[in-house]
Amino acid sequence: MSKWISRSINLGPTLMHGQIREHRLFGDLPQSLGGRDTAMEPSEGLLIALGNCMGMVIAAACEARGVPYLGMILDVEAEVIGDEYRLDNFRMKIHMPGPVDDRTRRAIAVGERLCKVHNTLRHGADVQVQLTE
């Protein structure tokens, strides 16, 4: 088992800068929630992470099987459960650029099996919060 470690740093009232390896991601709140809307809400990024993860795995599986995938589109939506401050009922629509046949269906099944974000959401994850001084 390996570990991934990220670091998030506050840059302003609601603006956060996250980094993992040499890659960066910013998060902010919309103005309606007191932010400046300079970046997406992190929970919006979760939808993008799911679509990107699934898409990359499907693309690799299509490449290995000779299935057309360039231009593939993954639309992800989720319901905002406001009083519980969470997302639920994720739905993904995959639009393939070519005909959908058994090889295409098998490539999509590989995505469902190997996408870390998909598996994390399906199985849940333990999250512990610790305050250090």
Confidence of residue 125 (pLDDT cuts 50, 70, 90): very high
Alpha carbon 34 to chain centroid, angstroms = 24
For residue 1, the model assigns a pLDDT of: 85
pLDDT in tens, 29-57: 999 999 999 999 999 999 999 999 999 99
**How crowded is the C-beta side of 123, counted as CA atoms within 13 Å?**
10
C-alpha distances (whole Å) from 77 to each of 18, 61, 63, 93, 120 are 23, 24, 26, 9, 17
Residue 15 CB neighbour total at 10 angstroms: 16
Confidence of residue 109 (pLDDT cuts 50, 70, 90): very high
pTM of the model: 0.93
Mean pLDDT of the region 9-28: 97
Q: Which class does domain 41-123 fall in?
A: alpha beta
**Smallest Cα–Cα separation from 100: which of 56, 52, 53, 62?**
62
Do the beta carbons of residue 30 and residue 41 sit within 8 Å? yes
What 3-state DSSP class applies to 102? helix
Do the beta carbons of residue 81 and residue 88 sit within 8 Å? yes
For residue 116, the model assigns a pLDDT of: 97
Mean pLDDT of the region 89-94: 98
Which residue in the block uniquely carries the two structure tokens 């905002």? 80
- The answer for residues whose C-beta is within 8 angstroms of residue 89's C-beta and 6 or more apart is 78, 79
Look over the chain and give the mean of its residue pLDDT values, rounded to a whole number. 96
For residue 90, the model assigns a pLDDT of: 98
